[in-house]
Amino acid sequence: MQFIVKTIVRLLILLLPLTTAAQSTYLPQGFKQQPLLDRLEIMLQNNTDLNVSTAKPLSRKVAVRVGEYADSLQQAGSLNLSKVDQYNLQSLLMNNDEWVQGDKSSFTSKRSIWNTFYKTKANFFEVNEKDFYLAINPVIQQQQSIETGNSGQRIFLNSKGATFRGMIAKKLGFSFYATDNQERGPLFVQQRIREFNAVPGAGFYKPFKTTATDYFDARGSINFTAVKYIDVQFGYDKNFIGNGYRSLFLSDYGNSYLFLKLNTRIWKLDYMNLFMELTNQFANNNGDNLLDKKYAAIHHLSLQATRWLNVGLFESVVFGRKNHFDFAYLNPIIFLRVAEQQNGSADNALVGFDFKANVAKRLQLYGQVLFDEFNLKELKAGKGWWANKFGIQGGAKYINAFGVKNLDLQGEINLVRPFTYTHTDSVSNYTHYNQPLAHPLGANFMEAIGIVRYQPHPKWTTSARLILYRQGADTANTNYGSNIFKLNGTRTGDYGFRLPAGPRTTALNTQLLVSYELKENLFIDASALIRSWKAAFDPSLNTKTNLFTIAVRMNMFRREYDY
């Protein structure tokens, strides 16, 4: 820890004097206009700002630049945006007004509070001066749910907090988000918390009302541009790599972490270096003991190969060292797998390939291929060798489906072989704070996802989501490669690991959601979630969940139970 902090401080001291270009903060997780940006990426087809990158979150500056470009095409008659798209575009610009170049008069509130609060429609308190920008907003989410068959427990989520962001002289950006949360999820979520000793998406937690949890979610970062083409972000937050609903590389499912990110964008290239400090697997965190740390380095290179096709290369390594980061993995250019081999192949290295292709301004095809370990000879033999560890994702997005404006469809398939993301020791598995860094199911599964999203009116949004997966089951005495926290050496054998391997379980998770935006960034949500989980080897373990929820949400992403 001391080494990585000292290294980062020295790096910041070296880079800060070179800062000359404007620097933006990043869009928050679950930003409400992400569907609009996804639509624009397909409609514009060859926009470099959107197509060259597959990492999220996107910077506010780039989002505004894309929005203003789309608006100019609309005004010129070169792009046909629906009234809903135009409303969403206006909202995108309004919520990132520090980067808007044009007329901002429509962003001003007709009635501010004491001529101080809500002077603009998007922000509770805003300062927008020549060399200083600051926006402060409350964060609220109140969910009340009914779970059939669970009359003895009230299912709820109570989140409240604040977020702020700002810039100094358009050279240094900063952001902060913090919420205090009390939550009792449905029974299958409670079971997951007990099994992994972790609240999905959160860190340290305390018991609350016996079966509920109490946790604090705090995130923040500083951002600056070192030289013209290199952006630097240092903070405690989450990242996501990919174009799908899931990511096999790096997802935002788990807890936040300390990281340093260098993002180089030039020509048709986008190259990300991500250095992370993670929390090792632990049995219990009572808040009084110092948890062991481990580290990770990730590289992702994205190339706009043609006007409509983007391809990317991914590599990562997770490793444990006694209180320091390994110098070999600080090199931003060398392949991490090569460095890992030079160290004696003691660490957990992964490599991958991804792509996305925009077709006819209506369709996007995307996918990922991840390799943990791979032996072509063993694969051809067809005996189900345990160490052929890889994952495959394939998906498609179809906007304005069947000619219906703002009706968007998405389909996705994810396959992950047994033992993928695992390692020979508990330190180097691809996890953080007892949660997977990639897919929430871990490994040894086949998953199909279907999403229908329809926005018939600027204020109304509806969606339906179906997740179907089949996974092998591990027990206390067997290891078929599903639980990525178990060591490779505890496997049941070397061969016979099909997909899925071991006793099979099947789950169906369906959600219907209707949201109404009462005021800017203030939503009323109504949803129904139906989930069934079946164990073919023991029907007595079968569970079924019917969850009906009403929620009020302000300046915050929606809490999901999508596994």
pLDDT tens-digit series, residues 310-339: 999 999 999 987 767 777 788 777 676 666
| Type of residue found at 442 | G
| Type of residue found at 357 | A
pLDDT tens-digit series, residues 96-107: 999 998 889 999
Q: Per the structure block, which two tokens stand in for 23? A: 């620097």
CB-based contact 513:463 (threshold 8 Å): yes
Q: Cβ–Cβ contacts within 10 Å for residue 331, how many?
A: 14
C-alpha 325/C-alpha 169 separation (Å) is 33
Instruction: Give the H/E segment covering residue 11.
Output: helix 2-15
The pLDDT of residue 219 is: 97
C-alpha 106/C-alpha 457 separation (Å) is 20
pLDDT tens-digit series, residues 106-124: 999 988 999 999 999 999 9
C-alpha 442/C-alpha 553 separation (Å) is 30
Instruction: Give the H/E segment covering residue 456.
Output: strand 445-457
Q: Per the structure block, which two tokens stand in for 453? A: 């999203």
C-alpha 117/C-alpha 359 separation (Å) is 45
CB-based contact 526:550 (threshold 8 Å): yes
C-alpha 5/C-alpha 287 separation (Å) is 22
Q: Per the structure block, which two tokens stand in for 127? A: 């300062």
Lowest mean pLDDT among 4-18, 193-207, 351-365: 4-18
Nearest Cα neighbor of 481 from 361, 490, 203, 323 is: 490
Task: Provide the percentage of residues in the chain whose pLDDT is more than 90.
Answer: 78
CB-based contact 356:364 (threshold 8 Å): yes
Q: Which residue has the tokens 């099909």?
A: 498
pLDDT tens-digit series, residues 270-314: 999 999 999 999 988 777 778 889 999 999 999 999 999 999 999
Q: Cβ–Cβ contacts within 10 Å for residue 425, how many?
A: 16
Choice between 514 and 476, residue whose per-residue pLDDT is larger? 514
Contacts of 311 (CB under 8 A, 6+ apart): 302, 303, 305, 353, 354, 355
Q: Is 421 left (phi over 0), alpha (psi -120 to 50) or beta?
A: left
Lowest mean pLDDT among 4-18, 133-147, 479-493: 4-18
Nearest Cα neighbor of 54 from 70, 41, 35, 69 is: 41
Instruction: Quickly list DSSP for 266-319.
Output: ETTEEEEEEEEEEEPP-S---SSSPPPEEEEEEEEEEEE-SSSEEEEEEEEEEE
CB-based contact 350:315 (threshold 8 Å): yes
Q: Which residue has the tokens 């797998």?
A: 337
Nearest Cα neighbor of 203 from 483, 29, 432, 484 is: 432
pTM for the whole structure: 0.94
Nearest Cα neighbor of 164 from 559, 558, 557, 555 is: 555
Confidence of residue 1 (pLDDT cuts 50, 70, 90): very low
Q: Is the dihedral of CA 394, 400, 401, 407 positive or negative?
A: positive
Q: Please determine, for residue 477, whether its predicted confidence score (pLDDT) is greater than 90.
A: no
The pLDDT of residue 276 is: 96
Instruction: Quickly list DSSP for 410-430.
Output: EEEEEEE-TTTT--SSSSSSS
Direct distance between the N- and C-terminal alpha carbons of the chain, in angstroms, rounded to an integer:
33
